Structure 1
Amino acid sequence: MPSLPLPFVGALLLAILCARLVAGSEPGRRITPPLVFVAACTLDLIVVGLRWSTDLAAIRALQPVVAATLPPLAWLCFARLTRPRRRALWPHLLPVALVAVLSGIWTLWKAPIDGVLAAVFLGYAAALLRLAARGPDALAAARLDDAPKAIRSIRLVGLVLASFALVDLAIAVDVALSAGRHAALIVAAANLIALPAGAWAIATTGLAPPQQPAVPTEPPQAKTAQDDEPPADEDDLAEDQAIIDRLDALMQDRAPYRDPDLTLDRLARRLGLPARRLSAAVNRRLNRNVSQLVNDHRVAEACRLLSTTDAPVTRIMFDAGFQTKSNFNREFRRVTGTTPSAWRRDRRGAGARTP
């Protein structure tokens, strides 16, 4: 009885994930970087399955080229969240083109494809892990509610790419020691385990930047030359404190934290500051990131609504600016040490006992 190679099973699961991404996308934004990445992972597993079952020369040449597209696509999924401006795509085509050239001349000269692939995967893995190490404030164009989860996904995808680099090195060793007898099995196993993990992390993170408002909510203040860079003397906290005071006033007067699509970029524009300047001031003065600061205000608003209204907890969650129940409960417990329902019950019990 014929059996279906495991890579095809993985490709089928990723194809279902692609269909879910298309079905859940907004009209006019069907083709997104996460969808393209998951589709590339699906194609890679199909090619690996064909390589495992047929060993055709054309498939052997195509496999490293498809694999080389994965690191740049993974990077582009997250890089667009660092700043809203468009980024040049052509530099990320260079490693794919190099692998394609080496794959095309493989029969004429034993080109070091595995070594080049390992370098590509390691390079992008290092870039992603470095981005993750900067924390949620590095994703200035991401919703503040999504930024912490996105950082965790960036870290996971970076580790996945690093593991593929080790796989490419293992293939090179296998080719040197046993003429590549186990290469197909190594590639199939690695792709079947790691690719779905990376694809799922990217697909479920919430990587779509929010739509930019058509009209600025508040006129930005004039910028000075020093706004483009952090202050030269990091020990001088006077300017940082002035920024924090302006931010507190904005939070109290306009309550921007109630906007579920709030991003670091939007908040910084309302203060007339570069995003990294605001982030640096919050980090240095308050020892936290902007996402945590905004969530502190959201939790405070939720506490006010819990104690003064009979609205359902879910309604209060949205009114305070949170998008997901899991993030609301996590941040509420971080700030208050308890759950929203328990907080409301305790406050009402205390009020009933008050003479």
Structure 2
Amino acid sequence: MPAIPLPFVVALLLTILLIRVFLQDRTLLKPVTLFIGTCILLVVTVGLRWTIDAPWVRFLQPVMAALLPPIAWLCFARLRQPPALRSWPHVLAPVAILILSCLWQRWQAPIDLILALLFFGYGAALVRHGHAGPDQFESVRLSDAQGARRAVSVIGLLLICSGIIDLLIAADFGSHQGSHAAVIVAVGNLLLLPVIAYAIAVIGRSVPDDEPLDRSGRARTVEPEHQPNEAASASPTEEDVGIMAMVETAMRQKTIYRDPDLTLNRLARRLGLPSRSVSNAINRTLGRNVPQLVNEYRVREAMRLLGETDLPVTGVMFECGFQTKSNFNREFARVTGTTPSEYRRAGGAPAGETSGSTA
């Protein structure tokens, strides 16, 4: 079988990506470097498998493959920062694959099938993770929560596709002695790099500068005495009304929405409340999520600046707390039904007439 240099090319490009992420030296991105490093080792192992095909490479490849799904989960699940993220259960699957690889000469276990199920399971969990509400992503910028959700879903889909590719390769060896395996591996590697690069770019843009950390290395948050099972009930409580008064004071008087790095965690710390309590109060009282509310305050301020000042649209965007023009235009259109430029050309309107009002 001819050598396949493509995996090594992909590994080189991923190494460049790894260096760039590492040099950013941001706490929330450090786990991402572990994910990229695992991808590099896996791609190199695959390349060696199809070039020298040594016994030790055949032994190592499934073990490296088994590491990728749990590492992907542990890396990207940190964006939600659940109360307790235990790592040790995720080591069980790679250890099991290691044992099965050691016993291969005595018992040829269905390692390919187990790996595929592992990729499918973690991939589906990440896709479900990405479809959670934007309030669940406590550590990303509120203006970029949607992009972070998509990136996590994309990584989940990548794992599912990898599981499919493993099954296709196993089926090809079973029916055609691996005559199509080289093409399948090449296609898989072509899909790998752009997907990872996209997801890492979005995540890197979505996480703010380092949060204050506690001794465990986690961002400091105010934890509730108990964590409710349901995100929100049918109607707001008296506590929700009090929390909303605090939120409105922070927004109107302290204008914390101007902070481009504002996250749910940062907002909750400013209020001295658990992030889940803040999220639930906004959901139950207004029927909206936290990013929507914060962006509505930003849009109302943008409307005022567009109508009362000569600042360029880009300057207005940054002044209000938005980081990217696409987010600014999308949220402005959601609240006002028009674009910032069209709004200014039309002469503007009182900001209080927008749907961004919390009244």
One-letter code of the match for 2:200? I
Aligned residue in 2 for 1:305:
305
Task: Return closer, same or farther for 1:224/1:159 CA change in 2, 3 Å cut-off.
Answer: closer
Aligned residue in 2 for 1:353:
none
On the 8 A contact 2:76/2:152 being kept in 1, the answer is: yes
Residues 8-44 of structure 1, C-alpha deviations (whole Å, 9 max, x = no match): 2322322232233234x03x76972222222322222
Aligned residue in 2 for 1:264:
264
Aligned residue in 1 for 2:198:
200
Provide the rounded CA distance (Å) in 2 between the counterparts of 1:300 and 1:348: 11
Which aligned pairs between 1:16-55 and structure 2 lie closer than 5 A?
16-23=16-23, 25-26=24-25, 32-55=30-53
Which aligned pairs between 1:34-113 and structure 2 lie closer than 5 A?
34-83=32-81, 87-113=85-111
Report SS of the residue matched to 2:253. helix
Residues 123-144 of structure 1, C-alpha deviations (whole Å, 9 max, x = no match): 2112212212212111112221
Corresponding position: 1:11 with 2:11: yes
* Cα distance, 1:114 vs structure 2: 0.9
On the 8 A contact 1:132/1:155 being kept in 2, the answer is: yes
Task: Return closer, same or farther for 1:86/1:238 CA change in 2, 3 Å cut-off.
Answer: closer
* Cα distance, 1:195 vs structure 2: 4.9
Task: Return closer, same or farther for 1:248/1:348 CA change in 2, 3 Å cut-off.
Answer: closer
Scaled by the length of structure 1, what TM-score is found? 0.83
Which aligned pairs between 1:305-344 and structure 2 lie closer than 5 A?
305-344=305-344
Corresponding position: 1:289 with 2:262: no
Task: Return closer, same or farther for 1:81/1:192 CA change in 2, 3 Å cut-off.
Answer: same
Aligned residue in 2 for 1:124:
122
Task: Return closer, same or farther for 1:233/1:325 CA change in 2, 3 Å cut-off.
Answer: closer
One-letter code of the match for 2:255? A
Residues 258-285 of structure 1, C-alpha deviations (whole Å, 9 max, x = no match): 1112111222233343222322232233
* Cα distance, 1:329 vs structure 2: 2.0
Provide the rounded CA distance (Å) in 2 between the counterparts of 1:30 and 1:290: 21
Aligned residue in 1 for 2:216:
none
Task: Return closer, same or farther for 1:30/1:228 CA change in 2, 3 Å cut-off.
Answer: closer
Which aligned pairs between 1:171-250 and structure 2 lie closer than 5 A?
171-206=169-204, 208=207, 210-212=209-211, 228-229=227-228, 234-239=233-238, 240-250=240-250
Provide the rounded CA distance (Å) in 1 between the counterparts of 2:228 and 2:9: 50
Identity of aligned residues (%): 50
Task: Return closer, same or farther for 1:155/1:173 CA change in 2, 3 Å cut-off.
Answer: same
Provide the rounded CA distance (Å) in 2 between the counterparts of 1:324 and 1:149: 12
One-letter code of the match for 2:333? R
Report SS of the residue matched to 1:32. helix
One-letter code of the match for 1:164? S
Provide the rounded CA distance (Å) in 2 between the counterparts of 1:269 and 1:20: 31
Provide the rounded CA distance (Å) in 1 between the counterparts of 2:311 and 2:174: 68
Provide the rounded CA distance (Å) in 2 between the counterparts of 1:58 and 1:93: 21
On the 8 A contact 1:45/1:192 being kept in 2, the answer is: no
On the 8 A contact 1:21/1:35 being kept in 2, the answer is: yes
Q: Which of 151, 163, 166 is the aligned partner of 1:165?
A: 163
- The farther-off stretch of 3-12 and 142-151 is 3-12
On the 8 A contact 1:47/1:59 being kept in 2, the answer is: yes
On the 8 A contact 1:77/1:202 being kept in 2, the answer is: no
Residues 32-76 of structure 1, C-alpha deviations (whole Å, 9 max, x = no match): 222222232222222222222222222222211222222122212
Provide the rounded CA distance (Å) in 1 between the counterparts of 2:99 and 2:322: 49
Aligned residue in 1 for 2:136:
138
Report SS of the residue matched to 2:50. helix
On the 8 A contact 2:35/2:68 being kept in 1, the answer is: yes
Report SS of the residue matched to 2:10. helix
Report SS of the residue matched to 1:83. coil
Task: Return closer, same or farther for 1:325/1:343 CA change in 2, 3 Å cut-off.
Answer: same
Residues 153-201 of structure 1, C-alpha deviations (whole Å, 9 max, x = no match): 1111111111222223333433443455544543443233235413431
Provide the rounded CA distance (Å) in 2 between the counterparts of 1:278 and 1:195: 38
Any unmatched runs of 5+ in structure 1?
A: 215-221, 351-355
Report SS of the residue matched to 1:281. helix
Task: Return closer, same or farther for 1:309/1:58 CA change in 2, 3 Å cut-off.
Answer: same
Task: Return closer, same or farther for 1:180/1:111 CA change in 2, 3 Å cut-off.
Answer: farther
One-letter code of the match for 1:294? V
- The farther-off stretch of 198-207 and 255-264 is 198-207
* Cα distance, 1:213 vs structure 2: 5.0
- The farther-off stretch of 191-200 and 34-43 is 191-200
Any unmatched runs of 5+ in structure 2?
A: 214-221, 351-359
Task: Return closer, same or farther for 1:31/1:318 CA change in 2, 3 Å cut-off.
Answer: closer
Provide the rounded CA distance (Å) in 2 between the counterparts of 1:175 and 1:228: 50
Aligned residue pairs total 340
Report SS of the residue matched to 2:318. helix
Scaled by the length of structure 2, what TM-score is found? 0.82
